[in-house]
C-alpha cells in the first residue's frame, strides 16, 4: 500500500512505555481488594479503553458494591505506585521516534489515558518534548475501539486517516485505528492480544521491527 507523506498516530500505554504490564499488576491487586476474579483474558479485553468504560463494566460484571468511580480511583492509585517505581520505555521506541522526526513526518500521541497522566510519564522518560499534538481521554466522547480518537488525531495532523499510520499494542486500539481508515501497525502487549490481532495490517513482535516495515512501504 502506497502512502505519501504520512502522519503518524502513536498510542502510549504498552506501545511506547511498559505501562500495560504494570497496569496488569495493578489490576490484579485491585481485584484482590475488591473480591473479583482476575484473568489475563479479561484484562486484555479492556486494554486500550477509557477507564470510565471498563470500570463501569467491571462493577456490572462482578456485581461489585462500589461505584465505578471508586474502582477507577483504586486502580489509578495502584497503577501510579507501580509506574513511579518501574515505568520504562519499550524497546525500539526511541529509534522509531528518531526515524519519524528525522524525516519530518508529523506525529501525534493518541491515548485513552488523561493528559495529566500521559504528560507526567512522557516527561519522566524524556519524551514530552517529542510531542506537540495530543489526543487524550478528555478530547473524545467515544474512546477506543471507536474510530473517533484516531479520526481526531488525523484531523489535528491535517491529514485524512487513510494517509496516516497508527501504531498500537491493543486489539481495541487496532480496531479504532483500522475503523478510522488508517494503516495499523500492531505490537501486541500480551499473548491474548496477539492471537486476536488479525485486524491490523502488520503485526510485529517489537517496535525494533517497525523501521524495516516503514522502509518497505517506501517511506
Which residues are designated catalytic?
11, 13
Greatest CA span in the chain, whole angstroms?
A: 54
Concatenated DSSP letters for the chain? ---SS-EEEE--BTTTBTHHHHHHHHHHHHHHHHT----HHHHHHHTTS-HHHHHHHHHHHTT-SS-HHHHHHHHHHHHHHHHHHH--BPTTHHHHHHHHHHTT--EEEE-SS-HHHHHHHHHHTT-GGG-S-EE-GGG-SS-TTSSHHHHHHHHHTT--GGGEEEEESSHHHHHHHHHHT-EEEE--SSHHHHHT-TTSSEE-SSGGGHHHHHHHTT-
Within 8 A by CB and 6+ apart from 219, the residues are 3, 6, 103, 105
CB atoms within 10 A of CB 104: 7
Amino acid at each position: 500500500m502506497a502512502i505519501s507523506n504520512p502522519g503518524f498516530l502513536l498510542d502510549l500505554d504498552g506501545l511506547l512505555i511498559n505501562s500495560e504490564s504494570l497496569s496488569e499488576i495493578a489490576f490484579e491487586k485491585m481485584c484482590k481488594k475488591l473480591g473479583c476474579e482476575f484473568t489475563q483474558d479479561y484484562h486484555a479485553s479492556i486494554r486500550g479503553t477509557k477507564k470510565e468504560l471498563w470500570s463501569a463494566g467491571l462493577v456490572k460484571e462482578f456485581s461489585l458494591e462500589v461505584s465505578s468511580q471508586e474502582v477507577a480511583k483504586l486502580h489509578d492509585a495502584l497503577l501510579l505506585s507501580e509506574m513511579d517505581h518501574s515505568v520504562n520505555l519499550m524497546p525500539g521506541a526511541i529509534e522509531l521516534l528518531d526515524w519519524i522526526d528525522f524525516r519530518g513526518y508529523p506525529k501525534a500521541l493518541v491515548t485513552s489515558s488523561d493528559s495529566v497522566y500521559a504528560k507526567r510519564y512522557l516527561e519522566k522518560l524524556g519524551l514530552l518534548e517529542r510531542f506537540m499534538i495530543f489526543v487524550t481521554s478528555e478530547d473524545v466522547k467515544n474512546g477506543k475501539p471507536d474510530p473517533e480518537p484516531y479520526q481526531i488525531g488525523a484531523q489535528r495532523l491535517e491529514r485524512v486517516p487513510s494517509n496516516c499510520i497508527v501504531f498500537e499494542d491493543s486489539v481495541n486500539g487496532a480496531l479504532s485505528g483500522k475503523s478510522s481508515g488508517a494503516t495499523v501497525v500492531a505490537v501486541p502487549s500480551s499473548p491474548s492480544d496477539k492471537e486476536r490481532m488479525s485486524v491490523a495490517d502488520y503485526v510485529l513482535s517489537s517496535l525494533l521491527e517497525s523501521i524495516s516495515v516503514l522502509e518497505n512501504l517506501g517511506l
